[in-house]
Structure 1
């Protein structure tokens, strides 16, 4: 084949999207895993509408946090405190509802996220502590505070309005949690792809020095994405609390790993400069799909962990560009 023929074939493959199949492996993988579970677990209720809706319910909180994590990773930072912040926000929200009602509770939950995010942002951008260490320390602090103020006990929420709005309600067959996920996903996608802020986030992660010389206040960008991440974690904690009708320090425990995995599975780079909110949501749904399918297969928890880890490693490895 001549050089011109090779170039033409390459161009044709690119137009078909074949040259970029690695970028779309999360979507291919999601469909393949869904079909495998649908064929092997159809007699165990996998395709039952209630089971499929439960996957959305169980995935929504991870997706909400992962949307914000997409911004953090795209800016070249990381936030390991999201799970602990979710637990803390669930407790402060429940306690505030008991003391002052629904609006006071919602305000307290969001204020928790803003306070933690501001502290993370200041320590990272002003003092210069790497976000990995800042948020790792904040993970322990947030969990400790939640355990302290709740005395390690669940704090009940008796407000039916709160429970309906934040996780427990449905509009017809559609869970409110699914609506939260879709609305926040749409907002996150538009902001990242269509606004100046989103472009500055990607530029900051793609090359901080170059971004700074082009006039971008990279410290401000990193500060803001860390605040956004903590606010999203607080909202996820409020959704946990609404669904379970109580605030507990254990809520969100260990979620940081699933959140980061969802973002990376979806095509967001751990090294910054590349991010996709739609891919992140599909990554979160893929993790929820795997969890649900492995449970229906009757695997022990240890086997579920091994299988889940192997599938995630395979998917991430396939999505990486060749060197």
Structure 2
């Protein structure tokens, strides 16, 4: 905070403190915002004639990134504790199928939502217990869970899609618009605001960052780190389950292919947004911007005519660049 007066050197305190604050600023702290602006400018100029800047295309980017953003804000908590969850993509597929099957069985909109969310919670709970109670590294647990859940999603319907004919479900959880605003944008903003408040304004958020920053010190300070980790994996499971519900509502069906490769996009969004891969530093707003940036790049590459394999290469490159230039991640 700046203050008036003269320090022992004869210089105004306000000026001295202002210089210190200026020196603390580092462009790498804002790389995701600078990069996002740069990406928008580049595609706006190079793809202007192809309609990149049209309102419809911008809204499409929002719709396409909604599920990644929602899973990303939850993944921010997991990575902030120094852990990782590779099972989110497969969980969305299983959740979409369970929601579709519940609707098909006549349980209605609430039943479909509950089935999708419960699927995610169960997967998150199993992940959390294996990590905290059996003490298996999160990378191995969630890698194995990714295969198990994916196989289960393929097995329960014999790889067949399950159509959803309930117009209310499809409107509320995917294809609806509130005036000009896509319903998916509303869900994204609600998830982002909630996660931001929890991370920045609650003791749970502070304990999450403390667990990732120095787990031993956090334990000595009274933080129940295993409980924190269990809760953050439950949160990612819940977010993945809800993302599956949104996939089902948007595509009006449950499919085992939903969420395929999303774990890469989610992790890229979180790291690119400024959350440290090694834990202790997290930013929900940065994750949202990272997600939108990845979605914008994907959209621009599609308009340019690049295929899926080239888009995957770009996603991998984004992760490498994020870690290479992310000062917070490197200096952790």
User: Which residue in the other structure is 1:306 paired with?
Assistant: 313
CA-CA distance at 1:104 after TM superposition: 1.3
The offset of 1:319, in angstroms, is 2.3
1:17 CA drift (Å): 7.3
Partner of 1:192: 199
Deviations 1:180-218 (A, max 9, x none): 001110000000000011001000111111101111111
- 1:258 corresponds in structure 2 to 265
Aligned to 1:45: 51
User: In the TM superposition, what is the alpha-carbon distance from 1:305 to its structure 2 partner?
Assistant: 3.3
Q: 2:80 aligns with which of 61, 74, 80?
A: 74
1:166–1:176 Cα contact (<8 Å) kept:
yes
The alignment status of 1:60 with 2:66, answered yes or no, reads yes
Q: CA RMSD of the aligned region, Å?
A: 2.0
Measured in 2, the distance between the counterparts of 1:56 and 1:272 equals 28
Whether 2:108 is the aligned partner of 1:101: answer yes
TM-score, normalised by the number of residues in structure 1: 0.94
User: Which piece of structure 1 moves more, 164-173 or 11-20?
Assistant: 11-20
What 5-or-longer segments of structure 2 have no aligned partner?
A: 1-9
Structure 2 CA distance for aligned equivalents of residues 306 and 248 of structure 1 = 25
1:151 counterpart = 2:134: no
What is the aligned counterpart of 1:120 among 106, 122, 127? 127
**Compared CA separation, residues 17 and 101, structure 1 to 2 (3 A):** farther
Secondary structure at the aligned position of 2:144 is classed as helix
Equivalent residue in structure 1 for 2:37, among 18, 31, 49: 31
CA deviation after TM superposition for structure 1 residue 105, in Å: 1.3
CA offsets per residue over residues 22-61 of structure 1, 9 Å max, x none?
A: 1111001000110011011110000010000000000000
Determine the C-alpha separation between the residues in 2 that align with 1:14 and 1:259. 36
Q: 1:101: how far off?
A: 1.7
Moved more, 298-307 or 248-257: 298-307
1:276 lines up with 2:293 in the alignment? no
Counting only pairs closer than 5 Å after superposition, residues 80-99 of structure 1 correspond to structure 2 as 80-99=86-105
Report SS of the residue matched to 2:85.
coil
- Residue 186 (structure 2) aligns with: 179
TM-score where L is the length of structure 2? 0.91
- Alpha-carbon distance in 1 for matches of 2:266, 2:24: 29
- Contact kept in structure 2, 1:14 and 1:20, CA below 8 Å: no
Unaligned runs of 5+ residues in structure 1 are none
